[in-house]
Structure 1
Amino acid sequence: MTATAGITLQRTTDSFLHNNVFDLFSLKDRVVVITGGARGIGLALAFAVAEAGGQVAILDAAPDTHEHYKLLQERCSKVKYYQSDVTDYDRLKGTFVDIVEDFGRIDGLITAAGICPDQPFLERDPKSVERCFKINTLGTYYCAQLATKQMFTSDYCSSKGAVLALGQQLGAELAPVNVRVNCISPG
């Protein structure tokens, strides 16, 4: 067992005895967000996630997906495209909220969004360098932070929503026998 920043991880060295290798690599029903997934490496990784049984939320700045996206839709149990920008934190934050609303949660993140300007070092324009860092570095940082926040809060929020619904149901059901039910939610 390992404790890191308040998180306790259960680790065993004999999991191979209880699982087959395909189960260990399975993404069955896992929701994976892939940035830069409209084409190229990101789209290829979306096919890999689908092949492993996962559901895919593709996020890209491109207005449209590659023609192979239709094949992905045929092979994936659930896939959805979100046009967003990994350098626009506020927009990205809304996109991650939309993904959780559509899929129910986020289990994994692949940050494939990136650019590689093909320019010699001595001729490289500072704006081009800045754009590269924004997409490749800050985009990855923002997405990792937002995905992690959703991973930690989605179960909490849904469980508290269920408690609220239960309180309403019990209040209606138990009112005829003079039992009062209250539910107080923080915030």
Structure 2
Amino acid sequence: MRLLEGKTVLVTGGSTGIGRAAAIGAARHGANVAINYASSDDKATSCVAEIEALGQKAIAIKGDVADPTTAGDFVKHAVAEFGRIDVMVSNAGICPFHAFLDMPVETVDRTFKVNLHGAYYMVQAATRQMVEQGEGGAIVAVSSISALVGGEFQTHYTPTKAGVHSLMQSAAIALGKHNIRCNSVLPGTILTEINKADLANEEKRRSMESRTPLGRLGEPEDMVGPIVFLASEMAAYVTGAALLVDGGMFVNLQ
């Protein structure tokens, strides 16, 4: 079953990690895809190639989501190429791990601008286009288990992910009258570039695995099903929801 047949899907942070998996996964379900990426030209090109090999169309647009003008530019290019937008997957994010007491101002500001402000502007730009089209749409924002729990070296990161979760709740109310659904996914520990250095510590990695009832850390591909579901008509009556995708880590208090 191709759940996104004929749809146009936009993915931010689409050259690597969860964004890349979501972009390719959307194509497997019949979507044409536009990806935004910040710096990885070769990886963006290879992502487009993988999508095209599946028989779908794809473009990659470079831009920093922390810049408010990037959102409008991304939407404009996608509409010029595909004629419309049906789904926005707001995924771009960073997490430069750092202790709280000596956290640099620049690190805090950059994390908020990319993770929260970037999501806000991308969602706003996409939904403006959807409202103009008049046929509804779907937003899926990649929040995090960190929206619900703290982290010693993530005091700058966890508030942004709580903010993304909250943004989807408020946007669901604001946009329901336009038949635009807004939901978030909350990944647990997924093996991506964002935590590669942190999990290079084998002891820490084994500890994280032991806390996960399913016995392993997540892969980017584990996020594809939940994202595609929320983007598709199978979730036609789902909005303002948050779906944990964490192998059970959140509920394991023992």
Report the alpha carbon displacement of residue 63 of structure 1 after superposing the two structures with TM: 5.0
CA deviations 1:61-95 (Å, max 9, x no partner) are 11504174232331251111001121212233122
Structure 2 CA distance, aligned partners of 1:102 and 1:155?
A: 19
Does residue 1:38 correspond to 2:15, yes or no? Answer: yes
Distance 1:81 1:135, change over 3 A: same
Q: Which amino acid aligns with 2:89?
A: I
Checking the alignment, whether the CA contact within 8 Å between 1:41 and 1:112 is kept in structure 2 is yes
1:151 to 107, 113, 130: 130
Report the alpha carbon displacement of residue 36 of structure 1 after superposing the two structures with TM: 0.1
Structure 2 CA distance, aligned partners of 1:73 and 1:128?
A: 37
Could you list the runs of 4 or more consecutive aligned residues of structure 1 that deviate by over 3 angstroms after TM superposition?
none
The count of corresponding residues between Structure 1 and Structure 2 is 133
- Aligned-residue Cα RMSD (Å) equals 1.9
Checking the alignment, whether the CA contact within 8 Å between 2:35 and 2:59 is kept in structure 1 is yes
Alignment of 1:21-100 (within 5 A): 22=1, 26-62=3-39, 64-66=41-43, 68-69=46-47, 70-100=49-79
1:126 to 88, 105, 123: 105
Structure 1 CA distance, aligned partners of 2:125 and 2:55?
A: 24
Percentage of identical aligned residues:
35
CA deviations 1:100-129 (Å, max 9, x no partner) are 111100000111100011212223211101
Unaligned stretches of 5+ residues in structure 2? 136-254
Distance 1:58 1:139, change over 3 A: same
Report the alpha carbon displacement of residue 34 of structure 1 after superposing the two structures with TM: 0.1
Structure 2 CA distance, aligned partners of 1:88 and 1:76?
A: 32
Unaligned stretches of 5+ residues in structure 1? 1-21, 157-187
1:105 is aligned to: 84
Checking the alignment, whether the CA contact within 8 Å between 1:32 and 1:109 is kept in structure 2 is yes
Structure 2 CA distance, aligned partners of 1:45 and 1:107?
A: 15
Q: Secondary structure at the match of 1:116?
A: coil
